[in-house]
Amino acid sequence: MSVTVCLADYEKNGTFTRAQLAELLSDPGSDTLELLRMKADRIRRESVGDTVHIRGVIEFSNHCIRTCAYCGINRFNEKVNRYRIPIAEIKAVARGAANRGFHTVVLQSGDDFFYTAEDLADAVAEIKLTGMAVTLSVGERPQADYQLWRQAGADRYLLKFETSDPELYARLHPGTSLERRLECLRQLRELGYQVGSGFMVGLPGQTIDSLAGDLLLLRELELEMAGIGPFIPHPGTPLHVAETGSVPMTLRVLALARMMIPWAHLPATTALSSLSADGRRLGLTGGGNVVMPNLTPLAYRRLYEIYPHKAEVTATPDQLLAETKTLVHDLGRTIAQDAGHGRRLATAGA
């Protein structure tokens, strides 16, 4: 099946089959990439509009009990200087974000059970008083914890499935399973969170067929948000000798993601910016509508090294905000002035 036939079918059906996705992912032409990016950009405009949502991320702890083979802060990496930001400081950083005009704050950390469910619920409840939306991204926790945070006012939860291939998942995440990850995503959905997930492009052992599966899974999960970034090998991990994910392939997957879940919020990821100075712009012009500036206090920023050469380790929140505003303006788009709550279907209200 040719690229043209796949795209004509998409116009009719509003989706791709696994075989079509595999075809579009394996076609080597750079003109195909440009065609997909143009389509994705049009669909982005029609379904989520021209505004760009800004989410401030606070990486509050790099302690982690997991052993994910790709991740620089996995438990086995003894070279990491570990830090934990006290709850009071997390709240203060969040207040700063609210004062700067952020409408969403994302509290992210390794899977760190030092923070009890109650600790985080307390942080969420207080941050909610600012009027901002709160996204949590603290990994796999018991359902009761997810429930407590939801009751405390958390709006969204971010938990990437990383790959839809169960065998690859098991190899990359010793001792746990894709099934368990999907169970968490189901629980979050049932509790009424807006759910974000996503995956990496270029993982060692990933195939075109499994990437097609990743894109289908985004749709099956009816995600409100999806983060898609290139895999970047970290020297302190078992995958340090693996190849880096490709920027053009990541852009191709991002464009297809926009076509599979037109209604969703898709960030131009930091991982993409880390590989390409132009990453943010490329993400925003090829399906993306979200930017997530890093608000982690500078003293800790470098230590949250999930992959090397991470972008934005030295810029202050004000600098990052100014850069984002300039970029968005240059693209002829505007910064969203609302919380940018997610929706699950193209026809649903904003």
Which positions lie near ligand 5AD, rule CB under 6 A? 70-71, 160, 162, 200, 229, 231-232, 234, 271, 306-307
Least CB distance from residue 349 to ligand 5AD, whole Å? 30
SS (HEC) of the chain: CCHHHHHHHHHHHCCCCHHHHHHHHHCCCHHHHHHHHHHHHHHHHHHHCCEEEEEEEEEEECCCCCCCCCCCCCCCCCCCCCCECCHHHHHHHHHHHHHCCCCEEEEEECCCCCCCHHHHHHHHHHHHCCCCEEEEECCCCCHHHHHHHHHCCCCEEECCCECCCHHHHHHHCCCCCHHHHHHHHHHHHHCCCEEEEEEEECCCCCCHHHHHHHHHHHHHCCCCEEEEEECCCCCCCCCCCCCCCCHHHHHHHHHHHHHHCCCCECECCHHHHHHCCCHHHHHHCCCCCEECCECCCHHHHCCCCCCCCCCCCCCCHHHHHHHHHHHHHHCCCEECCCCCCCCCCCCCCC
Which CB atom, from 32 or from 197, has the smaller least distance to ligand 5AD?
Answer: 197
Least CB distance from residue 338 to ligand 5AD, whole Å? 26
Least CB distance from residue 245 to ligand 5AD, whole Å? 7
Contacts of 195 (CB under 8 A, 6+ apart): 156, 157, 159, 185, 188, 189, 221, 223, 224, 225
Which CB atom, from 106 or from 336, has the smaller least distance to ligand 5AD?
Answer: 106
Least CB distance from residue 216 to ligand 5AD, whole Å? 18
Which CB atom, from 21 or from 172, has the smaller least distance to ligand 5AD?
Answer: 172
Least CB distance from residue 94 to ligand 5AD, whole Å? 19
Which CB atom, from 25 or from 201, has the smaller least distance to ligand 5AD?
Answer: 201
Which CB atom, from 43 or from 254, has the smaller least distance to ligand 5AD?
Answer: 254
Least CB distance from residue 49 to ligand 5AD, whole Å? 26
Nearest position to ligand 5AD, beta carbon: 307
Which CB atom, from 126 or from 214, has the smaller least distance to ligand 5AD?
Answer: 214
Least CB distance from residue 289 to ligand 5AD, whole Å? 19
Which CB atom, from 160 or from 281, has the smaller least distance to ligand 5AD?
Answer: 160
CB 105 within 8 A of CB 59: no
Least CB distance from residue 104 to ligand 5AD, whole Å? 17
Which CB atom, from 292 or from 336, has the smaller least distance to ligand 5AD?
Answer: 292
